[in-house]
Amino acid sequence: MIPYGRQTIEDDDIEAVTRVLRGDWLTTGPMVDEFEAAVSSFVGRKYGVAVANGTAALHVAMHAAGIGPGDEVITTPITFAATSNSVLYCGATPVFADVCADTLLIDPDSIEKKITPRTKAIAPVDYAGQPCDFDRLEAIAKKHGLLLIVDACHSLGGHYKAKPAGGFGDMAVFSFHPVKQITTGEGGLIVTDDEALYKKMRSFRNHGITTDHRQRAQQGAWFYEMVELGYNYRITDIQCALGFSQLKKLPRWIERRQEIAARYDAAFSAIDGIDGLSCQAGVSHAYHLYVVRIDREKTGCDRQAAFMRMREAGIGVNVHYVPVHYHPYYRQTLGTGAGDCPVAEAAYEEILSLPIYPGLTDEQVDEVVRALTCAVGVNA
């Protein structure tokens, strides 16, 4: 089975991890600082806080932003549920804006319609690896006095108008799950330029305690104070060593992802009824996902049938995502449902994610294209 996404682990990654295993610090050691510094400098930010996973990173960011009961945070339904779950963790209410039909990125016009006196933040998602329309999003946030907390879990290595993904908003969040651009096994990281947010986030990932184990060891001190209720969201040095080693290869891997996407684009441009998503002008797309829409009218084949046939052909296609406002938990607790976001809902019926990762060969890309044209019954 060709999977839709897969990590790349090279010998130097393995060596980086074994070096840590032979050393003194397995967690909360120097590799955490190094990884934080490397990622934040890569995306042009002052501070980075590495945590256990991307979901924890979103929670940490929402907490640091002061999101709490009575607040609303506007986000997109075309995302992994973790984005809006992090709002729920803080006792606040996620509000779903619709997406743009061509990119499936959050629609700035829809955001403006959903703003109320309770709105405190906007949490856009760089869906599939394409940075959002940050000129518009920053202008809306500024005009209405809202925080901008960007879920950049798909877009590490991408750019918007020459500025790196993750470089926008009060905070931006990354995930290092194995299907993402670089991996730490499990891991996440928040970047910011705001020192106060940075300090809050560091404390929240460590139970709400203001110093960590290594700081106390270095100072020869034992006393510590817990100043708020935090969590154990720490990441290990073992994981950060892997992430640090992976980051060095990121530009090469993004290039390969873009080559694969261009090969798919070229193939599908000749086929009526299988359409890739659009890429905005001035954007360098990081292609965490390569998503096509299967037009049922034109092909006579619906997405579900295409999905089944592709899986039978040994191709691990997927669907990203079930719109979050469709999930039973959201329907039951927030009263969301069909009709809330018509553009997202229509797209959901048609989308299919095709394999894309640096280790995928041109021959495999061609095999995926052949299998898909055969599955939907069109001629390439």
Ligand X SMILES: *Cc1c(COP(=O)(O)O)cnc(C)c1O
Which residue ranges make up the site for ligand X (CB under 6 A)?
53-55, 79-80, 82-83, 125, 151, 153-154, 175, 177, 188
Position of minimal CB gap to ligand X: 54
Which tokens belong to 208? 């709400």
Work out the angle between the directed axes of helices 30-42 and 237-247 (0-180°, nearest 10): 30
Which is the catalytic residue, given 180, 199, 200, 249?
Answer: 180
Nearer CB in complex with ligand X: 79/299: 79
Please, what is the minimum distance in Å from the beta carbon of residue 166 to ligand X? 13
Phi-psi sector, 166: left (phi>0), alpha (psi -120 to 50), beta? left
Please, what is the minimum distance in Å from the beta carbon of residue 76 to ligand X? 9
List, in order, residues 6 or more apart from 116 with CB less than 8 Å away. 72, 95
How many other CB atoms are found less than 10 A from the CB of residue 76?
31
Which tokens belong to 24? 């003194």
Please, what is the minimum distance in Å from the beta carbon of residue 58 to ligand X? 6
Please, what is the minimum distance in Å from the beta carbon of residue 153 to ligand X? 4
Omega of the bond prior to 321 within 30 degrees of 0, cis?
A: yes
Phi-psi sector, 337: left (phi>0), alpha (psi -120 to 50), beta? left
- Measure the CA–CA gap between 247 and 203, rounded to whole angstroms: 25
Work out the angle between the directed axes of helices 250-269 and 362-376 (0-180°, nearest 10): 30
Which tokens belong to 343? 């553009």
Active site residue 120: no
Please, what is the minimum distance in Å from the beta carbon of residue 38 to ligand X? 18
- Measure the CA–CA gap between 35 and 239, rounded to whole angstroms: 9
Give how far Cα 24 sits from Cα of 21, 201, 240, Å: 8, 25, 14
- Measure the CA–CA gap between 159 and 250, rounded to whole angstroms: 13
Nearer CB in complex with ligand X: 58/376: 58
Please, what is the minimum distance in Å from the beta carbon of residue 260 to ligand X? 19
Nearer CB in complex with ligand X: 247/371: 247
- For residue 286, the one-letter residue type is A
C-beta of residue 26 within 8 angstroms of C-beta of residue 15: no
What does R_g of the chain's alpha carbons equal in angstroms? 21
Just list the catalytic residues. Answer: 180
